Amino acid sequence: MRPNLSADAAQEILEREAIVRLMENASVEMTIHDEPHLTACGTLLRGSVNVYVSYLPKQNWEQTQRTVMAVRAAGFEPIPHVPARQIEDHAQLEDLLRRFAAGVAVRRILLIAGDRRTPLGPFGSTIDVLQTGLLANHGIQGIIVAGHPEGHPSIPAQALRANERAKVEAAQRAGLDVTFLTQFCFTAAPIISWIQQLRANGIRSPVVAGLAGPARLATLVKYAAICGIGPSLRNLGARAGALSQLATERGPETIIRALARAACDGTVDLAGVHFFSFGGLTRTCTWLSGAARGQIRLSADTFYVD
Domains along the chain?
Answer: 7-212+251-305 (3.20.20.220)
In this prediction, residue 270 carries a pLDDT of 96
Q: What is the pLDDT of residues 146-161, one digit of tens each?
A: 999 998 878 899 999 9
Lowest mean pLDDT across 45-59, 68-82, 214-228 = 214-228
SS (H, E, C) the chain: CCCCCCHHHHHHHHHHHHHHHHHHCCEEEECHHHHHHHHHHHCCCCCCCEEEECCCCCCCHHHHHHHHHHHHHCCCEEEEEEEHHHCCCHHHHHHHHHHHHHHHCCCEEEEECCCCCCCCCCCCCHHHHHCCCHHHHCCCCEEEEEECCCCECCECHHHHHHHHHHHHHHHHHCCCEEEEEECCCCCCHHHHHHHHHHHHCCCCCCEEEEEECCEEHHHHHHHHHHHCCCHHHHHHHHHCCCCCCCCCEECCHHHHHHHHHHHHCCCCCCCEEEEECCCCHHHHHHHHHHHHCCCEEEECCEEEEC
At residue 293, does pLDDT exceed 80? yes
Q: What is the pLDDT of residues 171-211, one digit of tens each?
A: 999 999 999 999 988 899 999 999 999 999 999 999 999 99
Q: At what angle do helices 90-104 and 61-73 cross, to 10 degrees?
A: 20
In this prediction, residue 236 carries a pLDDT of 57
Lowest mean pLDDT across 84-88, 162-166, 262-266, 278-282 = 278-282
CB 69 within 8 A of CB 104: yes
Strands 177-182 and 207-212: parallel
Measure the CA–CA gap between 106 and 113, rounded to whole angstroms.
20
Indicate the average pLDDT of the chain.
Answer: 90
At residue 120, does pLDDT exceed 60? yes
Q: What is the pLDDT of residues 246-271, one digit of tens each?
A: 446 678 999 999 999 999 999 999 99
| Residue 240's pLDDT band (cuts 50, 70, 90) | very low
At residue 2, does pLDDT exceed 70? no
Count Cβ atoms below 10 Å from residue 216 Cβ, excluding itself. Answer: 16
Measure the CA–CA gap between 178 and 172, rounded to whole angstroms.
8
At residue 1, does pLDDT exceed 60? no
